[in-house]
């Protein structure tokens, strides 16, 4: 599962919030958690067998 955390700026409700974005390669879903509560979830495609998406943490961004 790839994961990265971003603190968003410039949006009214998410300013200063802790945002966790995780991609579950098994279920092929991306989830967005804001301050510990799931806010969004949708299907994603993470790559073909010959071009697999690497597992593990990705990026930590603070804007």
Residues 4-62 have pLDDT tens digits of: 444 443 444 546 888 888 989 889 999 999 999 999 999 998 888 788 777 877 655 55
pTM higher than the cut 0.75: no
Q: Say which residues have a Cβ less than 8 Å from residue 27's Cβ, sequence separation at least 6.
A: none
Q: DSSP labels for 33-55?
A: EETTEEEEEEE-----GGGPPPP
Per-residue pLDDT at 7:
41
């Amino acid at each position: 599962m790839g994961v990265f955390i971003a603190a968003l700026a410039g949006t009214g409700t998410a300013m200063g919030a802790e945002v966790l974005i995780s991609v579950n390669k098994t279920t092929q879903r991306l989830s967005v958690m804001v301050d510990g509560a799931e806010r969004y979830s949708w299907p994603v495609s993470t790559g073909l067998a010959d071009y697999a998406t690497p597992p593990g943490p990705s990026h930590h961004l603070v804007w």
